[in-house]
Amino acid sequence: VLGVHIIGEGATELIHIGQAVINLGGTVDYFIDNSFNFPTLAEAYKVAALDAWNRLRKLGEPASALEAVPEVKKDAA
């Protein structure tokens, strides 16, 4: 994760999640592997991570730890 941008209502409640993952050297795997409350705006991190995974898969990029995510979850986004 290189950066996080959040604009709009509730941004101050969401930005800390991305900030913590960046500070801990986390990757997109963190967002895919963890549970987020539903329905909340925090779930947007997981949706964005699944979108990133699908884009990398289309490019043929290796997905290392993402291989453990079941196909049903990957394609559901």
Residue ranges making up the domain that contains 37: 11-76
Judge contact between 6 and 14, C-beta under 8 A: yes
In a domain, 4, yes or no: no
pTM, two decimal places? 0.55
In a domain, 58, yes or no: yes
In a domain, 1, yes or no: no
pLDDT tens for 6-58 read 899 888 888 988 999 999 998 888 888 888 777 778 888 888 888 988 888 88
In a domain, 2, yes or no: no
The answer for residues whose C-beta is within 8 angstroms of residue 33's C-beta and 6 or more apart is: 65, 68, 69
Cis peptide, bond prior to residue 39, ω within 30 of zero: yes
Q: How many domains does the chain have?
A: 1
pLDDT tens for 53-71 read 888 888 876 555 455 445 5
In a domain, 56, yes or no: yes
In a domain, 49, yes or no: yes
In a domain, 38, yes or no: yes
